[in-house]
Structure 1
């Protein structure tokens, strides 16, 4: 990256930083909690890159001065010292360029995906009724996290378990702070180790569920040909009183080329269920194509942390030891109760930090 070009790019962020600095002290901004919180997050992120920018400019000035000494001074000892200092400055500049490059590339990536809203899919796996109960527990964990984050969610599709809990549940999540960027590393197999309520002898059982986080995409990004979709309607099995027994409002869509199937039965209107199902189908097709691309470059990746591979066991929730462990980063938190009450941001932050290494 050319030095002049880099400075020009960083100056854009410096300008944005100063604009935000002026904004966050304005009374009308301070009184608007959501806006103030959003600007404060941007301020913190930009503060670091502005610090790098200022340091980078100082090193360039020093480099010019040392080059002048090397070209014009005749004293051998001074020139030797200047050459040593020049090498140090070049190393510093190279390090600052790498940091800047990482920031710029992450900004570019965030522009394409991390800022998006998300579709969250939870499905029971091994463990029968206990897995269905754990889906319900994880659903509660996430919805409490959404509340803490100021996000809104709607249930798109829900399939009840045999006794309690859910075999499958799909949520549409919307917020202002990069929903997908925070949730995308949650995709994978979540395992629970605990004594089920139905266990009479007090033995610890292991069950598992799968979590899939999909970025929400617009119709202009994924063009679905309606002739490629098979539509089936059926009577909803969910709540809704007498209505669900009289009309076939539930919708099942099958995308023939990819064989992806989506169901939606939460709305009373077949038209609304169709719209929601199309939204989920679009996200799944988008994610499917993305995963195909990632597989092609998987050998170059450092870890599975950001592949979104739903077959990989990523986390264990151990109730007897009050511990939650993320196996990708070997991080354990000994406050499972708090974690299940939505306090998951610490783990998400560790995952993001590890991903950048």
Structure 2
């Protein structure tokens, strides 16, 4: 373990030196990549230094205790030794967690895609609920939300909504949200008070850097049109909406949220890079493990990762068998407890695998 920690300290110092170079300071892409790597190492390096300090204090207290003859001073030194040993053990335990294999995408921004799946109009209304939930959670974290494409259905729901979330560590927290989400509630249109079950799918993709996914002009078909839906007269009469087709793969991205055609194009290109990056990651993971399952699957209710039951004010995450009776607060963006439980279960699984 010590050898790995020393290597990480050395890499931490190398990155700091590299980020100070003039050619790196002016290269936002490289600076961003190095910044993400540095932030991933910060906690480990700080904890290792705390471990070293505590270890030194334990050794120092024991040496002084061996030479001390005064009884009261011996008692004081014994207390100091115990306190330092507790700090050392706590730091060591923390380091075991920090040295677990890390997802290299954890510090990235994300693109989230929510689509109504099973349940018709009720599914689209649930998709809108999920979008509001994630938007409120992101706001509480100090993250920025930007809508890329929204396909509204006229009743306040979304057949599909795609949006970006920008913020430090966004993917490390949101990655647990990918999969089919199920809702059980009485729709407003239900006259007899019967509970209906519907589903929406959530896909969470780490946003790719431009240098990682190149998009030559010859591979792109770019079309413009007037935007549709709400947004004012200028949105609906100017050719600001963008539709980009990636010819080699057939992937299509549309964006009309901004009034500026250039901004819509920039957003669409970011999302296209992200989708290509996600496809690249999926291929790599499939090559490493035949047991990898798709994040979204078919969107069928039976494959749900989480259930939202309005009658019982209950949220159940089926992956970790965790149930919280605070659905109203969760839908207002209070997701931290659920995400913390999922992250803890992930760490425990990794630690068990190393045992």
Common fold: TM-score over 0.5: yes
Among 86, 93, 103, which residue is 2:98 paired with?
A: 103
Among 171, 180, 185, which residue is 2:171 paired with?
A: 180
Q: Tell me what 2:113 maps to.
A: 121
Q: Classify 1:318/1:46 alpha carbon distance in 2 versus 1 (closer, same or farther; 3 Å).
A: farther
Q: Classify 1:314/1:59 alpha carbon distance in 2 versus 1 (closer, same or farther; 3 Å).
A: farther
Contact 2:245/2:253, CA 8 A, preserved across alignment: yes
Equivalent positions of 1:236-255 (< 5 A) are: 236-255=227-246
Q: Distance in 2 between matches of 1:197 and 1:185?
A: 30
Q: Tell me what 1:340 maps to.
A: 331
Among 126, 131, 144, which residue is 1:134 paired with?
A: 126
Q: Classify 1:343/1:254 alpha carbon distance in 2 versus 1 (closer, same or farther; 3 Å).
A: same
Q: Distance in 2 between matches of 1:342 and 1:54?
A: 40
Q: Distance in 2 between matches of 1:14 and 1:223?
A: 28
Q: Classify 1:45/1:274 alpha carbon distance in 2 versus 1 (closer, same or farther; 3 Å).
A: same
Q: Tell me what 1:220 maps to.
A: 211
Among 149, 153, 157, which residue is 1:165 paired with?
A: 157
Q: Distance in 1 between matches of 2:330 and 2:320?
A: 17
TM-score, L = length of structure 2: 0.71
The DSSP-based 3-state class of the residue aligned with 2:191 is coil
Contact 2:201/2:296, CA 8 A, preserved across alignment: no
Deviations 1:74-123 (A, max 9, x none): xxxxxxxxxxxxxxxxxxxxxx99975652344xx35x311111112211
Q: Distance in 2 between matches of 1:282 and 1:251?
A: 15
Equivalent positions of 1:251-270 (< 5 A) are: 251-270=242-261
Taking only aligned residues, the RMSD between alpha carbons, in angstroms, comes to 3.3
Q: Distance in 1 between matches of 2:279 and 2:156?
A: 31
Contact 2:227/2:236, CA 8 A, preserved across alignment: yes
Q: Distance in 2 between matches of 1:169 and 1:211?
A: 10
Q: Distance in 2 between matches of 1:162 and 1:169?
A: 14
Residue 233 (1) aligns with residue 231 (2): no
TM-score, L = length of structure 1: 0.71
Equivalent positions of 1:74-89 (< 5 A) are: none
Among 318, 331, 336, which residue is 2:309 paired with?
A: 318
Deviation at 1:339, TM superposition (A): 0.8
Residue 8 (1) aligns with residue 6 (2): yes
Q: Tell me what 1:282 maps to.
A: 273
Residue 330 (1) aligns with residue 328 (2): no
Residue 206 (1) aligns with residue 197 (2): yes
Deviation at 1:285, TM superposition (A): 0.6
Contact 1:192/1:316, CA 8 A, preserved across alignment: yes
Q: Tell me what 2:146 maps to.
A: 154
Contact 1:188/1:314, CA 8 A, preserved across alignment: yes
Q: Distance in 1 between matches of 2:204 and 2:188?
A: 29
What is the aligned residue count? Answer: 288
Contact 1:120/1:171, CA 8 A, preserved across alignment: yes
Among 110, 134, 137, which residue is 1:145 paired with?
A: 137
The DSSP-based 3-state class of the residue aligned with 2:245 is strand
Q: Tell me what 2:79 maps to.
A: none
Q: Distance in 2 between matches of 1:97 and 1:44?
A: 13
Contact 2:180/2:201, CA 8 A, preserved across alignment: yes
Q: Which blocks of at least 5 consecutive residues in structure 1 are unaligned? A: 16-40, 61-95
The DSSP-based 3-state class of the residue aligned with 1:113 is coil
Q: Which blocks of at least 5 consecutive residues in structure 2 are unaligned? A: 14-39, 60-90, 349-355
Q: Distance in 2 between matches of 1:7 and 1:114?
A: 20
